[in-house]
Amino acid sequence: MREMVARAREMQERRFVETNVVDCNARITEGMFATHCAMEPSAEALFVRAQKSLLVSARARGHIVRVARTIADLDGSKRILERHIAEAVGYRGRDSRQ
User: What is the residue-averaged pLDDT of the chain?
Assistant: 91
Name the packing angle between helices 41-54 and 82-97 (round to 10°): 20
Predicted TM-score of the model (pTM)? 0.88
pLDDT band of 97, cuts 50, 70, 90 = very low
Residue 69: which of 45, 38, 31, 32 has the closest Cα?
Answer: 38
pLDDT per residue over 35-76, tens digit each?
A: 999 999 999 999 999 999 988 888 899 999 999 999 999 999
Domain boundaries, position 77: 2-97
pLDDT of residue 47: 95
Burial (CB count <10 Å: 0-12, 13-18, 19+), residue 66: buried
pLDDT of residue 98: 43
pLDDT per residue over 2-12, tens digit each?
A: 999 999 999 99
Number of domains in the chain: 1
pLDDT of residue 64: 96
